[in-house]
Amino acid sequence: QVQLVESGGGLVKPGGSLRLSCAASGFTFSDYYMSWIRQAPGKGLEWVSYISSSSSYTNYADSVKGRFTISRDNAKNSLYLQMNSLRAEDTAVYYCARVSPEVDYWGQGTLVTVSS
């Protein structure tokens, strides 16, 4: 069965950096686009970024463009999100998701808290 397991969340100060990881299993990872989606406390879902199956194409929400970088390692069945220059408004649960092209599987999420 498809499994997506995020890790790397935690408490970070404003201006700091964090790297999220997502370990995928149960499907041929290299065949699928992947995305990161976040949810601020008590709020709705916000798409953050996507990456194509071979890493040729990426895109970002305007709110994170220039600060976040998505990447993947198909040999390790892993997806990453490097988050720099973090702000309080980046506080959220971050979900890893498989895209085909709709989101058809979600991870359980990892909480990122940006606070001094």
Partner 1 sequence: QPVLTQSSSASASLGSSVKLTCTLSSGHSSYIIAWHQQQPGKAPRYLMKLEGSGSYNKGSGVPDRFSGSSSGADRYLTISNLQSEDEADYYCETWDSNNWVFGGGTKLTVL
Task: For CA atoms 32, 110, 23, 59, give the dihedral sign.
Answer: positive
Per CB under 8 A, 102 contacts partner 1:
yes
Distance CA 116, CA 45 (A): 25
Per CB under 8 A, 104 contacts partner 1:
yes
Q: Supply 114's token pair.
A: 């940006």
Q: Supply 102's token pair.
A: 């709709």
Determine which residue in the list 92, 95, 112, 114 makes contact with partner 1, applying CB under 8 A: 95
Per CB under 8 A, 109 contacts partner 1:
yes
Cis amide linkage into residue 41, ω under 30° from 0: no
The alpha carbon of residue 103 and the mean position of all alpha carbons in its chain are separated, in whole angstroms, by 13
Q: What is the CA radius of gyration of the chain?
A: 13
Find the part of the chain contacting partner 1 (CB under 8 A) among 12-20, 64-72, 78-86, 101-109.
101-109
Per CB under 8 A, 66 contacts partner 1:
no
Determine which residue in the list 59, 65, 85, 88 makes contact with partner 1, applying CB under 8 A: 59
Per CB under 8 A, 67 contacts partner 1:
no
Applying CB under 8 A, the residues found at the interface with partner 1 are 35, 37, 44-47, 50, 57, 59, 61, 95, 99, 101-109
